[in-house]
Amino acid sequence: MDTLIGMFLSGTSYQGPQPRQIISLGAGTDTRPFRLFARQKQNQVVYHELDFAAMAAKKLRTVRAVPALRAILPNASDPENDSWGARPPSGGEYLCHGVDLRRLAQSDAPSTLPGLRTDVPTLLVSECCLCYLEPAEAQGVISWFAHRIADVGIVLYEPVKPDDPFGKMMVSNLAARRIRMPTLEMYKQPDDQASRLRDAGFEFANAVTVDEIYETWISDEERERVDRLEGLDEVEEWKLLAGHYAVAWGWRGNGFTQFEGFPDRLRK
């Protein structure tokens, strides 16, 4: 995920600096924006996080209570219509919205979100979030943004392959905890994940499993470093698990030149 997001932030098809926008769906307690804004010169980044109102309020309390986070997002605003924001010293803008994503798929969905820009390249991010919605709802959420933003991309991380023995056990274990992932029942293979993005209006789309990512995106040096931190004994089990999760990404319009030819160029 960080690789694709980093590519989006570094690439440009415009002349000169161009603002970029990231919209994280179901962000929860994700720390990516804090790590991003802790760096210098992020004055061209607008970062949105969406989650339930209770989670958005909890994140604000955490930011205000933890000095290290408060230094990254000082002067966080009081919530207004369940949204709050801050302007980091490193530049850019952070906004957190308390919203049930399913509302975006309804006929009475809000027309916009506070601070949302529709004139800059935008990347939607869903890390095991949209998979908890019904397929029509998940596509509705994607469409809400795709209909408003011309230059838009998306990165999804979701489980796949529910019908083989490991997949059936995975689904059964989730069901025992009363957890269901409706999109897993429709988008069963990595190619299905890429197809759903094309169906949603993205001109280009790719999908790969996590085990392929580990073998082809990660350098030998990084794999060796991670293995030294915590030796992996059950390699076959790891490959089996990693083969049942996939990352899919798609885009249309300008601002995604770094995505072109990826990941095929890694194999050259």
Tens digits of residue pLDDT in 87-138: 999 889 999 999 999 999 999 999 999 999 999 999 999 999 999 999 999 9
Euclidean distance between CA atoms 40 and 43, whole angstroms: 8
Find the length of the chain.
268
Euclidean distance between CA atoms 193 and 208, whole angstroms: 9
Distances (CA, A) of 87 to 143, 147, 208, 210: 28, 27, 35, 34
Q: Does the pTM exceed 0.85?
A: yes
- Per-domain residue ranges for the chain? 2-249
Q: Is the pLDDT of residue 40 over 70?
A: no
Among candidates 166, 206, 162, 155, which has minimal Cα distance to 181?
Answer: 162
Confidence band (pLDDT; 50, 70, 90) for 17?
A: low
Q: What number does CATH give the domain 2-249?
A: 3.40.50.150
Q: Is the pLDDT of residue 11 over 80?
A: no
229 φ/ψ angles, rounded to the nearest 5 degrees: -70, -45
Among candidates 8, 4, 19, 13, which has minimal Cα distance to 118?
Answer: 19
Neighbouring C-beta atoms of residue 21, cutoff 10 Å: 27
Q: Is the pLDDT of residue 14 over 50?
A: no
In sign, the C-alpha dihedral spanning 77, 78, 81, 83 is positive
Cis? peptide before 79, omega within 30° of 0: no
